[in-house]
Structure 1
Amino acid sequence: MLMVSWAPVGLRKTPLTLAIVCVLLGVAVFSLGWLGFDPDPRTWDTITERLTEVVVIISLMGAGLKLDRKVGWRSWNSTWRLLAIAMPLTILGVMALGLYGLGFSLAMALLLGASLAPTDPVLAADVQVGPPKSGDEDEVRFGLTSEAGLNDSLAFPFVHLAILASVGGLATSAGWMDWVTVKVFWKLLAGAGIGWLVGKGLGWLIFASEKAGLSRLGDGLVALAATFIAYAVAEVAHGYGFLAVFVCGVTIRAWERDNDFHKEMHHFADQFERLLIMLLLVLFGGALANGLLSSLTWTDAAIGLAILLIVRPVAGVIAMIGSPHPFRDRLLMAFLGIRGIGSVYYVAYGINHGEFGSSERLWAILGFVILASIVIHGVTANPLLERLRRWRSVD
């Protein structure tokens, strides 16, 4: 808790980030053998799925609440481009590397592609917009925040497709019909619809009036309640809970957009999220210390770097062709596609619900990509965004 509160200030003038420090702390603590358990996600697959699930949905609520910009076709142009073009291209690129570079089966290559395609809403906090009404919402930060809020749920159909492939369902018309009608159409529709309805209902409850509304209580815990309500209702209806939570957050934000209670809710969600993130990163460091990368080869590492430094940036640049924004903005949005906790969730979910066989190498590649993203993006993000700010001030 002290690290979460103080470290960002102390690290401001160093190339380190809090995420890097927490991973190093986890490596140090678990290397010394002070704790009597191994936090390897391959051993604790169900707990890994649940822990990462909780962190992601809280992060999605925070992302929805802090977006000042109203939803619109033109105002969210960068978002639609990143979702409709960059994300499918990234899935295809990573899947091709998995098939031909790593020798994975089609099912495992598709799971790797679907898991590593989304920009992480959790570890990407440093490149996202600021708190509500802070004014810290340039096009790069907005594009990355809104993309991260939506692409986690949009990756889910491809995770289900990988699961279907793992059990041989791609050869049956029934498998394809279920995937199209349920995993794609219904789950996306139910997630978005329920998120909107719950957001409308809670928005009315929170801001109905100064006397009756919950906003007068000034308790940011409401954000956590909204997160779990939206997620639970969507999951009961067999919709995508990730999508419901983000849509719920955006819908609540649309109610009395200038009300200061949005800041209170975002602040609480942000604090709770950061505590859980740091816990998971320490455990991630422990998994690294206990051999998560032991099956990694030099070829695997090279392909992992190619995913971060070639596949996503190229897909992002292609998606932004014809965009009205300056090339430097487009390039930064393409490069700063951080991979992290969401990818861990999807791999854990896929393995727990499919039949992929041995997953040690898959986990090793995933762990390497996340570690490389934490270091590369963590060290470069703030300097790049600061330089972009100075360029804009000169312009």
Structure 2
Amino acid sequence: MNDPEGRGFMVRWMGVRVPARHDGRAARADATPSTTGGPVFGFEAYHVLFAALGVSIILSFWLPRFLSGREPATSALLILTGLAAFVWIPGMPQAIEPVASPRVWELVSELCVIVGLFGTGLRIDRFASRPRWMPTARLLVVAMPLCILLIALVGWTVAGMTLAGGLLLGAILAPTDPVLAGDVQVGPPHEGGEHPVRYALTTEAGLNDGLAFPFVHLGIAVAVAGGFSLELAGEWLVRDLIFRVVVGAVAGAAVGWLLGKILFDWPRDNALSKTASGVVALAGVLLAYGLTELLEGYGFIAAFVSGYALRRSETHDRFHRRLHDFSESLEHALTAIILIALGGALPALWPHFSWSHAATGLALIFLIRPLVGWVSLAGTRIRGRERLVVSFYGVRGIGSVYYLAYAGHHVELVNEHHMWATVAFTILLSTIVHGLTAGFAVEHVTGEHQTGPTMPPRGAER
């Protein structure tokens, strides 16, 4: 039970209620005997948090194995076990509620996304031709802006949001996620499996997180200015849409090239790639992201491009797999913590959730994304069932958490709780619908198996 004076948790043991010490540290078990002869002790809230995190992660990865021999789709379970674990801890949902502490959510999700983007760039084995990149270009240039506009329209007409709020919500929810979409992406370095369906979904997820940023900035600018003007549009076009995108791409390519030289060429007879240190992956993405942000470019674009450029610098060295595996492990750990925290925060967001927020998420997953994806892929080499799969499987996840936390940290948002409730519902819905079906659907149209400890490698590229 809670300490009424806010000093920590109260412990009942041997019939005695004992608060934690005033300095926030638990009382030692042997410090003060109780009147019944037993020792008095206390515990700290963050130890409970650690234990709940551990139990939630283990259950989420363990329980699906009773039902399937496949690598488990754990994203939805992480959210639900986070909810089940933290709803019973007094005050915990309010303590981790994202509206109250957006900066923490922003920083953790930011690190998770950039690590995921760097690893996504490392995954791509082949430098594709123009026809191979065309579906990706269509998804980025046609599908994503249409998705933003339609979400903004739904938010304005159905959820009663302002123009700026609807535009911001569209930019937050439009990008697909490089972190949660492992079942639909290409395989790790040197594994192959670069079917056009997987290639399109992988490269789209790698780039649209960064390309959504201009629209997030536009939504924030419209909210701050109280309306839209030609002057605002011109400044946004030159600075946010053109300059920052170009800087992100150029800086990412430069850092990727430099990392390639450092890892494989300098010095030639004692290259860093001969070591077993995968932590270079983290160092590389931090360098690419931090430098690009200092240059006022988009670090998300730089993170993906640097990984992609590094992969191009030396295509055959097995060290790429070591870098990828390290970044993937770190990405999975951060993702698990964020999804469990999102589930733990759901009770604090429930009072702000309504049918209009559910309608927005349902429209995005089942109508808007499939429709704009299908339209954008017209005339490309992806047709029939493959076109349907690419259109439908636009997974939502950690990128949306970051963008909303970023907006909440930098500007006072109207109805911020409602926006978080909508985003949380949409992510949960996506993890259930996409997470449970993506592996089967993509394998069916590509003929390639999901990779993992219990599965054979994916087949060669067709």
Say which structure, 1 or 2, has more relative contact order (CA 8 Å, 6+ apart). 1
**Larger deviation, residues 373-382 vs 319-328:** 319-328
**2-side partners of 1:14 and 1:253: how far apart?**
28
Q: Who is 1:114 aligned against?
A: 171
**1-side partners of 2:275 and 2:151: how far apart?**
48
Deviations 1:302-359 (A, max 9, x none): 2210111100000000011111223111110110000111011111112222343231
**2-side partners of 1:281 and 1:27: how far apart?**
10
2:92 and 2:344 in contact (8 A); partners too: no
Letter matched to residue 261 of structure 1: F
Structure 1 segment 71-110 matched on structure 2, within 5 A = 71-110=128-167
Deviations 1:156-188 (A, max 9, x none): 000000011001165555433331221112111
Q: Who is 1:167 aligned against?
A: 224
**2-side partners of 1:359 and 1:124: how far apart?**
27
Letter matched to residue 324 of structure 1: R
Q: 1:203 to 1:390 in 2, by over 3 A?
A: closer
Q: Among 7, 24, 30, which residue is 2:86 paired with?
A: 30
**Larger deviation, residues 199-208 vs 20-29:** 20-29
Q: Among 273, 293, 303, which residue is 1:245 paired with?
A: 303
1:119 and 1:148 in contact (8 A); partners too: yes
Matched-pair identity in %: 40
Offset of 1:129 from its aligned partner? 1.1
1:29 and 1:35 in contact (8 A); partners too: no
Q: Who is 1:21 aligned against?
A: 77
Normalization by structure 2: what TM-score?
0.80
**2-side partners of 1:8 and 1:190: how far apart?**
43
3-state SS of paired residue (1:238): coil
1:210 and 1:216 in contact (8 A); partners too: no
| Count of equivalent residues | 393
Letter matched to residue 333 of structure 1: V
Deviations 1:57-115 (A, max 9, x none): 00000000001120542221211111011111111111110111111001110011001
Q: Who is 2:408 aligned against?
A: 351
Deviations 1:272-318 (A, max 9, x none): 11011111111111011x23232221232122101111000000000
Letter matched to residue 96 of structure 1: L
**1-side partners of 2:141 and 2:369: how far apart?**
14
Q: Who is 1:61 aligned against?
A: 118
Normalization by structure 1: what TM-score?
0.93
Letter matched to residue 273 of structure 2: S
Deviations 1:212-264 (A, max 9, x none): 32111131111111000000100111110000111100000001211111101
**2-side partners of 1:183 and 1:70: how far apart?**
28
**1-side partners of 2:448 and 2:405: how far apart?**
42
In proportion to residue count, which structure has more helix? 1
2:61 and 2:72 in contact (8 A); partners too: no
Q: Who is 2:383 aligned against?
A: 326
Structure 1 segment 1-395 matched on structure 2, within 5 A = 3=58, 12-13=68-69, 17-33=73-89, 36=92, 38-168=95-225, 170-208=227-265, 210-288=268-346, 290-390=347-447
Structure 1 stretches of 5 or more lacking a match?
none
Offset of 1:387 from its aligned partner? 2.1
Letter matched to residue 340 of structure 2: V
**2-side partners of 1:314 and 1:58: how far apart?**
30
Q: 1:123 to 1:11 in 2, by over 3 A?
A: farther
Q: 1:250 to 1:26 in 2, by over 3 A?
A: same
